[in-house]
A = this chain, B = another copy of it.
Amino acid sequence: MYVTSPIGIFEHSEIRLPHFVEAETAKHSHFSTAEAGHRMFCEGDDAIYIYEILEGVVRTSKLLFDGRRQILSFGYPGDLVGLSHDCFYHSDCEAVCDVKLRVHHKNACHASIESEPEFAKKLLKFAASEVNNMQEHFIMLGRKSATEKVASFLLTLLDRVGEPKNCKTCFDLPMCRSDIADFLGLTIETISRTLTKLREDGVIELPKKHRVHVCNVPGLRALAERA
């Protein structure tokens, strides 16, 4: 679920959810879509569904009383959003672009846990790895400079959805600058300036506002830990 993940949890491991949930929850799950900008759930809503992202990207966020926003995660295909320890969602969730979803009933998951201890262990493993990814993001928010934050963010996307083209690695940046800013604890101006700086230094190209070509991966990696 967290873009901060170095690898997609479900994509590259044996715990890809559909496979395990299928048996018990298929009859209780359904497919759905959401248009760009659509709010899937709000903080405080009854947490009845667990959403599995099939296509597109969603963002989860929390608001402060005065409107300040922190984006908690970007959900990419293979990710889960909407897990709750009580019966309420603790964040908002919106579609960043058009998304395709698989919607699982919470109760069906609970049933699976009881009938299949293996499933429980894997869900637990998923949760623990979420915790781990979030811990990485703690360092990001608490101790990294603006350049390091942006470089780290681009690297995470590169590792997760980058496609090699010639000698470059390319990917879309579906979220707007203010989403990135609220994810990294910065302002849109700082995001813009930092991206410009990376472009001027020849580390990346920005053919379109929402498209990134990384020309110098080692350079970007160095900036992520050093600048």
Contact = CB atoms under 8 A, between A and B. Distances in A.
Contacts of A144: 64
Given A131-B134, A132-B90, A141-B138, A126 B85 contact: yes
A21 to B, nearest CB: 14
A62 B121 contact: no
Contact of A85 (B84, B85, B132): B132
B68 A143 contact: yes
Copies of this subunit: 2
A225 interface: yes
A135 B136 CA distance: 13
A10 to B, nearest CB: 13
Interface string A90-109: 11000000000000000000
Contacts of A225: 64-65
Interface string A116-157: 010011011111111110111111011110000000000000
Contacts of A62: 135-136, 138-139
A36 B117 CA distance: 39
A132 B136 CA distance: 16
Contacts of A110: 121
A143 B185 contact: yes
A114 interface: yes
Nearest to A121: B113
A51 B117 CA distance: 23
A70 B142 contact: yes
10 contacts: A72-B135, A85-B126, A85-B129, A91-B135, A113-B121, A113-B124, A117-B117, A141-B142, A142-B182, A143-B182
Interface of A: 62, 64-65, 68-70, 72, 83-86, 90-91, 110, 113-115, 117, 120-121, 123-132, 134-139, 141-144, 182, 184-185, 225
